[in-house]
Chain A
């Protein structure tokens, strides 16, 4: 039996994704087992647990659920297994499902006048369960897909140094096109006698933003140059509904041209600190619902102790 794309819904954590395409792959880590003096073998043995990847592209229609994993995933190791549970993604593609997936790459393209499309890759360290079950459903009505033509870019660049040693402001008048990329290392941790990981190890995470800009310059100090680019995606009501920010250093400049084309300059800004914002106490509410004082004591003239 063959099916069409209409027949397979993609769900992540039981939320339906408006994906334009999706692919799921599953692989066993097998390697041939040779004995000395053998050039041929019938034996293949597992070298690691089973695992796979789910790759999909989807339209951004508002605040992106997956973006929360960029700053949240792997940031509370003190919570141990309970935190791991909350960071897991379950996936279901046409009835085929997995339980322990982790976001390993994520990107958004900012192409002129185009619908905003995000691409995500989820790695899972488990087998795929379930059976393919065809579904028949009508596309939702009233969906608004965000368009890059309504994006607003804010930027902040550190000033450069001119040839004569004076400060030279880094001016960007036009952001032509770009991408926002996120990559994370996630490694499974297996216990003896188990083929399913008992834990995962979160490695480094990095966000970088490539942007084609105007005003070509070759200025790039050895320590990079501080930069911040923020892309605000707006809906048709001109409300900002999603934001992609990369605040780091410019580590690459690229200047290129080809016959029949204009000179293109791209910069790459890399951000390596992706932890969520610092936690702070906004207010302490007393039993009457009022914002109380911080500390122990009274609000009398003696003040807090």
Chain B
């Protein structure tokens, strides 16, 4: 039995010809079948436990939002902008017009499988390091490929170049989210009466997330799906600022927005996340002891 310490349990993704080790701070992998008890009338107890669905695996991990550097970030494949492979993958899937999905190879502490990205998110806050999270589902495929294979073994991947990473992790210091702030135009009459609402909000933090829907198609006589489709995606950006938009419209219009996430080197490349047709769907405000009144708005985009 292998006893593996965390420093030898790297998380590595391979998509096409690109392999990248993520700077994961934790990772969990689960693999389950669907054995269900069957009961018959007239008897006490179960007839036994029998499978009712295919085996399936799930893997999720949190990682530092790396955007530049040789390891854990940088340009991915032929991608024009910097970012990590998960962001690259999410961007590719949500803008894809191809319904047939192919998973990416994920390796964690010697155990690997073909995973389909089901969720991805990151946060950006003032003066804090950005962290990301990702979740993958393993369906397996065909009549041979099981969702998960391998055993626990030391796997460190390529050594991290910490010096290059220092400026490659997304940080709130130089990340400007002004394009996402709420702006309220007050009228001259309102201004003449007295103090007015602040016209432009100040953004304190933002939480981005996107979820993907995949539909595995199973057929008679085979456990694992014969194919897997990508259908829809929905992304959400929660912005914390200091302007409450009481003018939230019933039929709010959407707009295309691009979030640029930067590291500590202001002149280095940025990781971009585009929100297509982002529509504000909610606004809220709250206050706590020893704090200012903060507002939260939520933007959603669908694909």
- Chain A residues within 8 Å of B, Cβ to Cβ: 5-10, 16-22, 58-59, 94, 110, 112-115, 135-141, 143, 145, 147-153, 174-178, 231, 259-262
Contact = CB atoms under 8 A, between A and B. Distances in A.
5 contacts: A94-B42, A113-B54, A114-B52, A139-B46, A147-B50
Contacts of A7: 42
Given A113-B53, A147-B51, A18 B40 contact: yes
B15 interface: no
Contact of B47 (A10, A112, A140): A140
Contact of A9 (B41, B215, B229, B231): B41
B47 A145 contact: yes
B222 A20 contact: no
Nearest to A136: B44
- CB-based closest 4 A-B pairs: A9-B42, A112-B218, A139-B43, A139-B45
A152 B143 CA distance: 13
Contacts of B47: 18, 59, 139-140, 143, 145
Contact of B221 (A17, A18, A151): A151
B218 to A, nearest CB: 4
A8 B42 contact: yes
Interface in B206-236: 213, 215, 217-223, 226, 229, 231-232
B38 A145 contact: yes
Interface of B: 34, 38-48, 50-54, 99, 213, 215, 217-223, 226, 229, 231-232
Given A113-B223, A114-B52, A6 B42 contact: yes
Given A152-B221, A153-B221, A177-B220, A6 B38 contact: no
A20 B41 contact: yes
Given A175-B219, A175-B221, A262-B217, A22 B41 contact: yes
Given A8-B42, A59-B47, 18 more contacts: A5-B41, A7-B42, A10-B42, A20-B39, A112-B220, A113-B51, A113-B52, A135-B42, A137-B43, A138-B45, A139-B40, A139-B47, A145-B50, A149-B223, A175-B219, A259-B232, A261-B215, A262-B99
A19 B40 CA distance: 5
Contacts of A141: 48
A112 B44 contact: no
B219 A176 contact: yes
Given A149-B221, A176-B218, A10 B45 contact: no
A138 B44 contact: yes
B13 to A, nearest CB: 26
B220 A153 contact: yes
Nearest to B229: A262
Nearest to A56: B41
Contacts of A138: 43-45
Contact of A174 (B41, B54, B219): B219
B200 to A, nearest CB: 38
Contacts of A176: 217-220
A6 B41 contact: yes
A20 B219 contact: no
A138 B45 CA distance: 6
A258 to B, nearest CB: 10
Given A8-B41, A59-B38, A59-B47, A175 B220 contact: yes
Contacts of A152: 221
A178 B99 CA distance: 24
Contacts of B219: 112, 174-177
Contact of A139 (B34, B39, B217): B39
A59 B40 contact: yes
Nearest to B53: A113
B6 to A, nearest CB: 36
Contacts of B229: 262
Nearest to A148: B220
